[in-house]
Amino acid sequence: MSARDRILSRLRERAAPAPTQFTELDYSVMHRPLDAAVRKTRFLESLRAARAEVIETTEATWTDALAKVLDSREITALGLGEIHPWAQAARRDLKDGRRRLVSFASVKGREAFERLEAGLTSSCGAIAETGSVCLWPDADEPRSLSLIPPVHIVVVDERHIYSSFFELQSAQSWHKGLPSNALLISGPSKTADIEQTLVFGAHGPKALVVLLITRSD
Amino acid sequence: MSVKTFTPAAFHHQSAQALSNPQLRHNFRGAMDGLMAKRLGSFDSWDIEALRDLGQGIRQKALRYLPDLLEQLEANCQRNGITVHWAESADDAGRVITELCKARGAQSVIKGKSMVSEEVELNARLAEAGIEALESDLGEYIVQMAEETPSHIIMPAIHKNTADISTLMHQRTGTRETNDAEELTHAARAQLRDRFQTADVGISGVNFAVAETGTLCLVENEGNGRLTTTVPPVHIAITGIEKVVAEFKDVPPLYALLTRSAIGQNVTTYFNMISGPRRGQEVDGPEEVHLVLVDNGRSRMYQDEEYAETLQCIRCGACMNHCPVYTRVGGHTYGTTYPGPIGKILMPHLLGLNTTKNLPTASSLCGACGEVCPVRIPIPKLLVRLRNEAVGEGKGNIEGAGSARRPMEAMGWKLFSWLARHPRCWRVGVRVVQACRSAVPKRVAPWTDNRVRPTPAATSLKQQLAQRRRS
């Protein structure tokens, strides 16, 4: 008998529990819907409280906002995808030779740690209540793009802000299957392991910049 | 610096030592006061009792169907490309992980925070096989550098202040001495950066394992957990068999409870959901992901429905943050991997009552732990039951039951019980005691170590009431 079978058979040894069926759990406490306007405000407030930089912009002008962020932070090497629509727009509009636009797939291993000053990613949703951005990394925008460069810049569409994590995972049917890695990111990396003193910039990105695409309709 | 060894058997001695260390008491008092206030504030907009009911329900449901859910988790993980291993004991867990490392020719391992890896003493086992394991969570990094064990399950280095850490980092890594936590944190970041890149294997814990989707959820703030599970070519996750939940929708309520109960945060910086190694065209993420499910005494606890409630725990540490005993003696005093109230009801099952019999008595039964537990584990009730087991008055299905039994004490209580049920003899007994009241010795150790000598009253309450009725 394997360790697996021994463990499982020990668990099954327990005298059968009372025959009463397990009553359906009440998840109503998790239903905390917010109005669209409140969702945006709450999202901004929560992220800013977590020391993220949030810039409200529009679909037409967001690459200008991005250029400004890169200039103000003196970023000359930006990692980004090639296929994602936001990445394509950034590649189209930032072609002024002032900075290198690097596909992550072309910088492997050690290089990624040393050469990239910022990573640009899209997002697959956001959460108002906790100021979280949801990422589903893939081949075009790999896991490391939002992890290794010291600055993570992420584009969020106002229309994709959900009230809560509970609402987000339910609306997107996460129970049907997830990518190899899914992430909620709620600010720059931080720690309070030294005498409870909050310090930003632990092992992950030292800065999180959210470019929020607002919609007038 | 020598390795300090604390053992549960030496609890009394260790607590006396801790109590006479004002710096240690100051560190814990300050930290715990802050954490209690922050926790309360973070539940402001919530119906906290309804949320705790749900958390309790989710965990109880998961435990009720535990064997089925473990099989479902295994099947879905395998479908996702995660290899699942089972370990009955700490030895097994060490062996499985060492073999996985050896198969890859691994020499160095980078670790994210994992209490189960502490429980099975993984670092020491890897070291025996010539594999170096480096802790990457800042608190764990500090504790490892000091050759100590964590004193809190969420904040491993809470017993140290900034000056202690500065001195330690200066001695061990040549970091410039400073009282600036930011400078120290950034120094640690720089010191570990290379190690993430060169590590052959990343080892992490798991906060929730979702049976429905075959997903491993990791909660963290620093990003070291993400680096550990993303950069090295192999990721090994180690967890206890009780960490499984049935459905993905069970995750948001438990996550909401966990971060608020633990550190009073609405959310952590990262919530990392891993459902397999890199797929298809993906250029990063580990090539192999392994899940090691550790029993190590849990399936035995599971046999007893009351003790099984201990397995509901989501390891938030709120019970220790609110415990008047933990706050005063600190985490090391308990001498066990899991300290504080949860440790007092968990460790006797993992280690047996022979060595841990003092732990359940280290409580005033004030009930704070039970009141703050996000999944409503009845910790005080379980403490009382373990006290009974320790003196041989329980069901006796725990190793070392009765090991704290002292024949004289047991006989004393038997006599008392008999007298209390026989009024005539009781009255004679009271008179005898009253006649001998001046014969109580000056020192009745250990009572008189800290308290005044007990003397029976000249007249009993009953006698006084009878006198009043007569007059």
Q: How far is A16 from chain B (nearest CA, A)?
A: 10
Contact B67 A170 (CB under 8 A): no
How does pLDDT run across B27-39, given as a tens digit for each residue?
999 999 999 999 9
Per CB-CB distance under 8 Å, the chain B contacts of A106 are none
How does pLDDT run across A65-96, given as a tens digit for each residue?
999 999 999 999 999 999 999 999 999 999 87
Query: Which residues fall within 8 angstroms of residue A97, CB to CB, at 6 or more apart?
Result: none
Question: Could you say which of B46, B213, B223 has the minimum Cβ distance to residue A204?
Answer: B223
Per CB-CB distance under 8 Å, the chain B contacts of A197 are 162, 181-182
Q: How far is B408 from chain A (nearest CA, A)?
A: 36
Per CB-CB distance under 8 Å, the chain B contacts of A192 are 155, 221, 263
Phi and psi at residue B113, to the nearest 5°: -70, 130
How does pLDDT run across B249-284, given as a tens digit for each residue?
999 999 999 999 999 999 999 999 999 999 999 999
Angle of helix B340-351 relative to helix B379-390, nearest 10 degrees?
A: 40
The pTM of this model reads 0.94
Q: Does A92 touch chain B (CB under 8 A)?
A: no
Query: Which residues fall within 8 angstroms of residue B225, CB to CB, at 6 or more apart?
Result: B112, B113, B137, B204, B218, B270, B272
pLDDT band at B396 (very low <50, low <70, confident <90, very high): confident
pLDDT band at B4 (very low <50, low <70, confident <90, very high): low
List, edge to edge, every strand of the sheet that includes A125-127. Answer: A161-162, A125-127, A132-135, A181-185, B270-274, B215-220, B208-210, B244-245
Q: Does A169 touch chain B (CB under 8 A)?
A: yes
Looking at the DSSP bridge assignments, the partners of residue B82 are B289
- Cβ B208 vs Cβ B256: under 8 Å: no
Per CB-CB distance under 8 Å, the chain A contacts of B215 are 178
Q: How far apart are the C-alpha atoms of B471 and B466, rounded to whole Å?
A: 9
SS3 state at A103: strand
Q: What is the torsion angle, in degrees rounded to the nearest 10, for the CA atoms of residue A21, residue A23, residue A24 and residue A30? A: -150
Question: Could you say which of B47, B155, B275 has the minimum Cβ distance to residue A179?
Answer: B275
Structural domain boundaries, residue A81: 32-213
Q: How far apart are the C-alpha atoms of B93 and B70, rounded to whole Å?
A: 17
Q: What is the CA radius of gyration of chain A?
A: 21
Q: How far is B432 from chain A (nearest CA, A)?
A: 51
Query: Which residues fall within 8 angstroms of residue A170, CB to CB, at 6 or more apart?
Result: B249
Using the 8-state DSSP alphabet, how is residue A25 labeled? P
pLDDT band at A39 (very low <50, low <70, confident <90, very high): very high
Whether the complex's predicted ipTM is more than 0.95 is answered with: yes
Residue A26 lies in a domain: no
pLDDT band at B2 (very low <50, low <70, confident <90, very high): very low
| B98-106: average pLDDT | 97
Distance between the two ends of chain B, CA-based, in angstroms? 73
Mean pLDDT computed over every residue of chain B: 95
Question: What percent of chain B clears pLDDT 70, i.e. is strictly above it?
Answer: 99
pLDDT band at B399 (very low <50, low <70, confident <90, very high): very high
Question: Could you say which of A46, A113, A180 has the minimum Cβ distance to residue B285?
Answer: A180
Contact A130 B31 (CB under 8 A): no
Above 80 in pLDDT, residue B81?
yes
What token pair was written down for B124? Answer: 């020491």
- The two beta strands, B132-135 and B108-111, are parallel
Domain at A92, CATH number:
3.40.50.10420
Q: Which runs of E-coded beta strand occur in A68-175?
A: 77-80, 100-103, 118-121, 125-127, 132-135, 151-157, 161-162
Residue A22 lies in a domain: no
pLDDT reported for residue B438: 86
Q: How far apart are the C-alpha atoms of A47 and A210, rounded to whole Å?
A: 9
| B316-321: average pLDDT | 97
Q: How far apart are the C-alpha atoms of B32 and B263, rounded to whole Å?
A: 10
Residue A9 lies in a domain: no
| B61-89: average pLDDT | 97
Per CB-CB distance under 8 Å, the chain B contacts of A46 are 266
Contact B269 A178 (CB under 8 A): no
Q: How far is A69 from chain B (nearest CA, A)?
A: 22
Q: Per the structure, how many domains does chain A have?
A: 1
Closest chain A residue to the Cα of B248, Cα to Cα:
A175
SS3 state at A110: helix
Which is nearest to B168 in space by CA: A190, A195, A198, A203? A195
Contact B138 A2 (CB under 8 A): no
Q: Does A50 touch chain B (CB under 8 A)?
A: yes
SS3 state at A129: coil
Residue A69 lies in a domain: yes
- Within chain B, all domains assigned CATH 3.40.50.10420 are found at 43-141+199-296
- Looking at domain B43-141+199-296, which CATH architecture does it have? 3-Layer(aba) Sandwich (3.40)
Question: Could you say which of B161, B196, B222 has the minimum Cβ distance to residue A191?
Answer: B222
Which is nearest to A191 in space by CA: B137, B28, B203, B266? B137
| B346-368: average pLDDT | 96
- The two beta strands, B108-111 and B201-204, are parallel
Contact B47 A185 (CB under 8 A): no
Distance between the two ends of chain A, CA-based, in angstroms? 64
pLDDT reported for residue B1: 33
Above 80 in pLDDT, residue A108?
no
3-state SS, one letter per residue, for chain B = CCCCCCCHHHHHHHHHHHHCCHHHHHHHHHHHHHHHHHHHHHCCCCCHHHHHHHHHHHHHHHHHCHHHHHHHHHHHHHHCCEEEEEECCHHHHHHHHHHHHHHCCCCEEEECCCHHHHHCCHHHHHHHCCCEEEECCHHHHHHHHCCCCCCCCCCCCCCCCHHHHHHHHHHHHCCCCCCCHHHHHHHHHHHHHHHHHHCCEEEECCCEEECCCCEEEEEECCCHHHHHHHCCCEEEEEEEHHHEECCHHHHHHHHHHHHHHHHCCCCCCEEEEECCCCCCCCCCCCCEEEEEEECCCHHHHHCCCCHHHHHHCCCCCHHHHCCHHHHHHCCHHHCCCCCHHHHHHHHHHHHCHHHHCCHHHCCCCCCHHHHHCCCCCCHHHHHHHHHHHHCCCCCCCCCCCCCCCCHHHHHHHHHHHHHHCCHHHHHHHHHHHHHCHHHCCCCCCCHHHHCCCCCCCCCCHHHHHHHHHHC
Contact B263 A192 (CB under 8 A): yes
